[in-house]
Amino acid sequence: MFLRMTTLCLVSIAACGCAPVIDAELGLIEQSRRGVSVVKDSVEQRRELVTTLLAKDRAALDEAFDADASQREQIDTAWLLEARQAYAAAVEALARRDASVEKSFDADVDNLSAIDDALIELDRLNRAQRQLFRFDK
């Protein structure tokens, strides 16, 4: 009997004491998710900016190719072949760099999504726990 009373008292105390803590945790989770969302938006904005800058490199390459050709009095086959090789090598190098940059942004977004998923799960668990204490009351 004594043991049962003690247990009941402890559970009641825990229930009364835990609810505000859970509410505080839920608030922190919400803030964290908002923070993650802000960082995600920032990453996407940076991706957009970087993509624009990377595209400019490609445009500069096209302009340079045309400028070299127009400044040349006579275009022989060897010169054209060399220009095309260099142009193609540069295009491939830029494509490789762009893919690597894109991959890095994707990794950032994936990591942030994983953090958000974990926070959603934590939120769910906390809500379930709070519900449990409400039943106790």
Partner 1 sequence: MSIDLKTEVAAVVAIRWDDFARRHPNLARVIDQHLVVESAVSHLRTDPAYQHALANARSAGAGVETVVTIIDKFVSVWLEKLV
State the alpha helices, DSSP H only, in the chain.
2-71, 77-136
User: Both tokens of residue 1?
Assistant: 């009997």
Stretch that binds partner 1, among 26-34, 88-96, 104-112, 116-124 (CB under 8 A): 88-96
| 50 touching partner 1, by CB under 8 A | no
Asked whether 51 and 94 are in contact (CB, 8 A), the reply is no
Stretch that binds partner 1, among 14-22, 29-37, 92-100, 105-113 (CB under 8 A): 92-100
Considering beta carbons, is residue 34 or 84 the nearer one to partner 1? 84
C-alpha 1: how far from chain center: 56
Stretch that binds partner 1, among 12-20, 42-50, 54-62, 123-131 (CB under 8 A): 54-62
Shortest distance in whole angstroms from residue 84 CB to partner 1: 5
Q: Which of 80, 33, 86, 91 is nearest to 57 (CA)?
A: 91
Rounded to 5°, angle at Cα 62 from 58 and 64: 110
C-alpha 94: how far from chain center: 23
| 82 touching partner 1, by CB under 8 A | yes
Shortest distance in whole angstroms from residue 81 CB to partner 1: 7
Binding site for partner 1 (CB under 8 A): 57, 60-61, 63-65, 67-68, 71, 79, 81-90, 92-94, 96-97
